[in-house]
Amino acid sequence: MLPSTPSPQTLSQKIIARASGNEYVSPGEIVTCQLDMVLMHDSSGPRRIKSRLEALGAKVWDPSKVVLVSDHFVPATDPESAEILALTRQWAQDQHIGHFYDMQGICHVMLPQQGHLKPGMFLVGGDSHSPTGGAFGTFMVGIGATEMTGVLATGEIWIKVPETIRIDWDGVLPDGCSAKDIMLFLCAKLGMNNNYKVMEFGGSTIRAMSMYERMVMCNMSAELGGKTGIIEADTTTTQWITDTGASVDNSLLNWTSDTNCHYEARYRFDASVLVPQVAAPHSPENTHPVDTFAHIPVHQAYIGACTGAKLSDLHMAARVLKGRTVSKGTRLLIAPASVKTTNAATKDGTLEILTDAGAIILPTGCGACAGMGAGAIANGENCISSTSRNFKGRMGSPDSSVYLGSPYTVAASAVMGKIADPRPLLTPGTQEI
């Protein structure tokens, strides 16, 4: 009798199969996977797992496979934050964590900027936006502190193989639209309850995107309710990895979904007809075209966080702000996603354009996105933000209102003093995709 031929596999199934030591896996199957790398930050990391590991008498299974980043409580604004950071630094030293990035940037940006991600890897992170890593053809999911304790002690985790939803975008994005607009549109179109699904993105629009923009796509798969997001690797992916100084093997491009593999659902959208999108309080699902909110005054505009303060995001804002000034009565706060981002924006003149327009540059870190540090908003204030979430009270007072938009839209709204379509304000330049 001839051996049976395995069914065609999605990219996620292939990665899970490799990590679990199987030839192939099927959706719904429960397997145990070996971790290639683990990501933690100061908020979800040592302060939550240190005592648990000590109670178990356990140590980190492989310190070389742990990346630790301080990004939530930096810089410390009160004694409690300072103590959390001190504990984080001491734990990193005690556990011999070589990949500890202290006040260097947001974890989801630091991981790829430091060359830690390669296609085919199986990773977990102690943060809900860990799916950002899927932009590099990895399978990366967020987990809580209890699971993280087990992972650090054993180097493995069990997983129920998820179904995959394929989402294709084709066509050229109109100038003034970005990956953020795509994801806000999808939050409204597909909803936020795609529980335990892999959101696999593809199509000509995605292939044309920079890695920074692909990171936005996978990052906000969390807002769709997905288990993770993922994009097949291509030469754009391998060029990024090479630029970080990491080695690249052409076999990395073999991590793709099989032709005729099974998807639970498939969607196809035309990027060329997209218009700038804005999510109204208090959910990313509450998204509509930007003109819907043209009457909404803006007290604070914020460009920051893992979703919206990368170098490409600052370039978008600069195209709107060049030669203009922030409206009187509106404050524009910008917190670059990493020190590397700040340095690059300084060298290429972007930072000068932003500050000349009246933007206030904040320290690198998660900051106002998570309601920490500078940038909190007061009762009755409206904020438009390039971040990923606008839940009630997330950025300050529960009586404030947070709207979400792309860096283009946030910058335009800062100039106009109300939520505004960025397209009429764009200066000539190359569309950042």
Confidence of residue 391 (pLDDT cuts 50, 70, 90): confident
Q: What region, left, alpha or beta, does residue 245 occupy, with left being phi > 0 and alpha being psi -120 to 50 degrees?
A: left
The number of beta carbons lying within 10 Å of the beta carbon of residue 428 is 7
Looking at domain 12-269, its CATH class is alpha beta
Amino acid 367: pLDDT: 78
Residue-averaged pLDDT of the chain: 94
Instruction: Please report which confidence band the pLDDT of residue 431 belongs to, taking 50, 70 and 90 as the band edges.
Output: low
Spatial CA neighbour of 12 closest among 226, 242, 185: 226
User: Residue 398's Cα: distance from chain center in Å?
Assistant: 24
User: What's the CATH fold of domain 279-425?
Assistant: Aconitase; domain 3 (3.30.499)
Answer yes or no: is pLDDT of 200 > 50: yes
3-state secondary structure of 430: coil
Question: Are the CB atoms for 143 and 222 separated by under 8 Å?
Answer: no
pLDDT of residue 298: 98
pLDDT(159) > 70: yes
pLDDT band at 279, cuts 50/70/90? very high
Residue range 324-353: mean pLDDT, rounded: 97
Q: Which residue, among 186, 233, 185, 175, has the nearest Cα to 207 in the 3D structure?
A: 233
In tens, the pLDDT along 202-226 reads 999 999 999 999 999 999 999 999 9
pLDDT at 397: 82
Measured in degrees and rounded to the nearest 5, phi and psi for residue 11 equal: -55, -45
What are the residue boundaries of the structural domains of the chain, listed by start? 12-269, 279-425
pLDDT score of 373: 75
Residue 250 scores a pLDDT above 90: no
Same fold, 12-269 and 279-425: yes
**pLDDT surpasses 90 at 324:** yes
Does residue 129 have a cis bond before it (omega within 30 degrees)? no
